Amino acid sequence: ILSFQVVGGKVKKPGKRGRKPAKIDLKAKLERSRQSARECRARKKLRYQYLEELVSSRERAICALREELEMYKQWCMAMDQGKIPSEIKALLTGEEQGKAQQNSTKLAKAGKTEANSSNP
C-alpha cells in the first residue's frame, strides 16, 4: 500500500528525492579528494620552484648591472681627470673600423646591383 501525503495542495511521496549516496561513492569521493590535494601540492611546488629560479636569475642580472654601472663610473672619473680608458679607445677604434667595413660593404653591394642592372 502506498501512502501519499497532501501538503499545501500537492501530493508528496514518502522518502528523499535524488540519488542516495552509497559507501562506494563516499570512498571514491575521498580518493578523488586525496588525488586533487596531491595535484594541488605538486602544482604549488612547481610554482615555488619557478618563482625561486626567477628571483635568482633577476638577482644575477642586478649584480651584473651593478658591476657595469661601477665600470662606467670608473670610466667617467678617469675621463674627468683627463685620462681616456683603454676600453673606450678600443670601442672608438672598433666603431671606426666597423663604420669603414659597413661603408665598403655598401659600396660593394651598390657596385654589384649596378653591374646586375646594366646586364639585362
- Domain assignment present for residue 42? The answer is yes
Whether 76 is covered by a domain: the verdict is yes
Predicted confidence at residue 77, as pLDDT, reads 93
* pTM for the structure as a whole: 0.50
- In a domain? residue 4: no
In a domain, 102, yes or no: no
- Is the Cα torsion angle 11, 15, 26, 45 positive or negative in sign? positive
The pLDDT tens digits of the residues spanning 44-95 come to: 999 999 999 999 999 999 999 999 999 999 999 999 998 888 888 888 888 7
**106 belongs to a structural domain:** no
The whole-chain average pLDDT of the chain stands at: 80
Number of domains, the chain: 1
Tell which wins on pLDDT, 7 or 91: 91
- For residue 86, is it within any domain? yes
In a domain? residue 68? yes
pLDDT band at 120 (very low <50, low <70, confident <90, very high): very low
In angstroms, the CA 72 to CA 14 distance is: 87
In a domain, 39, yes or no: yes
| Residues of the domain holding 41 | 26-91
